[in-house]
Structures are given as structure tokens and as C-alpha cells.
Amino acid sequence: MQASVGDQLLVHGRTVGHEDKVAKIVEVMGPEGNPPFRVRFDDGHEAVVSPGPDAVVQHKGPTK
């Protein structure tokens, strides 16, 4: 899983009733775009994550 700063990390809820979580990737700490990532959630808190199989990176589109 590779990402760049500005991409979004989508973590799917793993059980019924748990919503998906979306966070903006603010720092890529691994080599060549690999985890771990520092992410910022909508409520403002930050965390360092090494995403599992329940997560996907949504790459930012090209800027115009």
C-alpha cells in the first residue's frame, strides 16, 4: 500500500454498526510511500497508523 501526502485513508468499519473512518494523510513515514502514515481525522486528532487489509488509500486527483 503506497500513498502520498494529501491522499485519504479509508478504514472500513469491521463490525455492524461501526462506520467507515476517513483520514487525510499528512506524513508518509515509510520508504517509497509505504506505511506507517501520520493521518488527521475530521475531528482534528492525529494518529500514526499501519493500515491493515480493511483500509484503502484514495489517491488525490491531479491538480489543474
Global pTM value: 0.83
- Other C-beta atoms closer than 10 Å to the C-beta of 24 total 17
Please report the pLDDT score of residue 19 as a whole number: 86
Domain extent listing, the chain: 8-58
Please report the pLDDT score of residue 47 as a whole number: 95
Please report the pLDDT score of residue 34 as a whole number: 95
Task: List for the chain the helix, strand, coil content (%; round to 5).
Answer: 5, 40, 55
Please report the pLDDT score of residue 13 as a whole number: 79
Q: 49 versus 1: which is more confidently predicted? A: 49
Q: 6-44 pLDDT, tens per residue?
A: 999 998 877 777 788 999 999 999 999 999 999 999 899
